[in-house]
Amino acid sequence: MTDAKDNPLSDVQNLLGFLLAGFGGVLSFIGLRSTEVTTVLRNNGPQASLVALLLLLSVLAAVISVAVPSTAKIPLLRALATFILLLIVGPIVVLLIPIKNPQPLAVLVAMIVVALVIIAVAVLVWDTVPSNWRLPKPSVDYRPVPLQLIFIIASVVLIGGSIYGAIRLETVSQLNSDVQLGAQITKSGNDTALSVHVTASKVKDRGYIGISVVGLPSTVAITVDCGKVDVPLNGAPCSEDPCAYLRTQCERILGETVTPDAAGDINQTINDTLIAGNFQDIHVQAVLCSSGGTCQSVSQAGSRLDVHLLNFPHLPPPPSGSPK
C-alpha cells in the first residue's frame, strides 16, 4: 500500500475537504435551510449557477495546485497581476446577484468601473515583466513565486466569492415574502359562507398582507364580455379569471389586512357571508404592504386565486337528469 505521505491524492483530498467543509459551514452559519435551497434554485437559478461555478473553479484550482510541480514558478509581478485579476470576482458577484432588483444605477456603474480598473491594472502589471525573463537569473523585481501558491490563492479567492454569492442569495431569499392563499365556499340553506385562508412567511417588520376579494355579478355575460378583451400570450383565459380582465364590472366583497407575528409569519382565516346567487365568480388577491401604506402585488402563483360559483362557460353543460 502506498504511504499517504507519498500519495499526492491525499493532499487533494485534504484540501478539497477543507474547502467544502468551509463552504458548508458558512451555509449553515447563514441559516440556509434545505427547504430554502429548492426555493432559491427555482427563483434564482442563474445566480445559484454562478455560485456553483465559482465553487467548481475553486475546487479545480485546488486540484491543480497539487498537480503542479513545486519547481514551477512565475515572476513576482505576474503573480501580483494574477491576484489583482482574481479580485474581479467581487464586482461580478455584486453585479449578477443583486439584492435589490433592479440594481441601483449607481451600484451598477460603480461595479463596472471597478471591474474595468482591475482588468487594466492587472494587464499593466503583467505587461511590465519582460517577455525574455528567465528563472536562472531573476532580478529583485522579478523574483519567482511558486505556481502552486498562485493556484492556492486562486482557490481561496474563488471559494470566497462563492460564499459571498451564497450570502447574497440568502439575503435575497429573506427579502422575498412568501404568500399562499386558499379559499373555500360552503352553502347552508340560503346562506353562502366564504372562507379565505392566508399563510405567509418572511414578512418584513411593520409590514402586513392586504387581502382583496371581488366578485363578478351573476348578471354579467362572461362569454360576451370576455370576447371583447385582449388576453396576453401566456395569460389565463378570461373565462378562467374574469375579474382580472373585467375589473370595472367586478364588485368589492371584502377587504382585510392581516399582520405577521414576531417571526414574520401569518396563518389566519378570514370568513364572510355572501348573498346566494349574487356572484358567479370570486377573485381573491393578496398584496404585500409596508408600514407607509405602499402595497405591491406578489408575483407568486399562490398569491391569487379564482373560484367559480356557477355558469362555467369553459365546460359543457351537465347532461339532463344528472345530479346537480
Average of pLDDT values for 154-164? 86
Please count the structural domains in the chain.
2
pLDDT at position 1 is: 41
Tell me the three cell numbers of residue 159. 471559494
Domain membership flag for residue 240: yes
pLDDT at position 142 is: 56
pLDDT at 81 > cutoff 80 = yes
> What's this model's pTM, rounded to 2 decimal places?
0.60
Output the average pLDDT for the chain: 75
Give the up-direction half-sphere exposure of residue 254: CA atoms within 13 A in the CB hemisphere. Answer: 21
The fraction of the chain above a pLDDT of 90, given in percent, is 0
Same-domain pairing of 145 and 22: yes
pLDDT at position 316 is: 42
pLDDT at position 301 is: 56
Identify the DSSP state of 140.
Answer: S
Q: How far apart are CA 43 and CA 206, in angstroms?
A: 25
Print the domain residue range for 239. Answer: 178-308
Rounded (10°) CA dihedral 244, 249, 254, 256: 50
> Which has the minimum average pLDDT: 11-25, 132-146, 285-299, 309-323?
309-323
For the stretch 123-131, contacts whose Cβ atoms lie closer than 8 Å and that sit 24 or more positions apart, written own/partner, are 123/81, 125/77, 125/78, 125/80, 125/81, 125/84, 126/77, 126/78, 126/81, 126/82, 128/77, 129/75, 129/77, 129/78
Could you say which of 133, 156, 175 is where a domain stops? 175
The amino acid occupying position 173 is S
Same-domain pairing of 230 and 248: yes
Residue pointed to by grid coordinates 493532499: 11
Domain membership flag for residue 317: no
pLDDT at 183 > cutoff 70 = yes
Same-domain pairing of 77 and 205: no
Identify the DSSP state of 300.
Answer: S
Domain membership flag for residue 318: no
pLDDT at 19 > cutoff 70 = no
Residue pointed to by grid coordinates 412567511: 201
Average of pLDDT values for 216-239? 83
113-148 confidence digits (pLDDT tens): 888 888 888 777 777 766 555 544 545 455 678 888
Q: Domain holding 208: CATH number?
A: 2.60.40.10
> Which has the minimum average pLDDT: 94-98, 105-109, 149-153?
105-109
pLDDT band at 246 (very low <50, low <70, confident <90, very high): confident
Could you say which of 143, 175, 207 is where a domain stops? 175
The amino acid occupying position 324 is K
pLDDT at position 108 is: 76
Domain membership flag for residue 315: no
Q: How far apart are CA 202 and CA 265, in angstroms?
A: 6
Q: How far apart are CA 129 and CA 76, in angstroms?
A: 9
Average of pLDDT values for 279-291? 81
pLDDT at position 323 is: 42
Q: Containing H/E element for 201?
A: strand 191-201
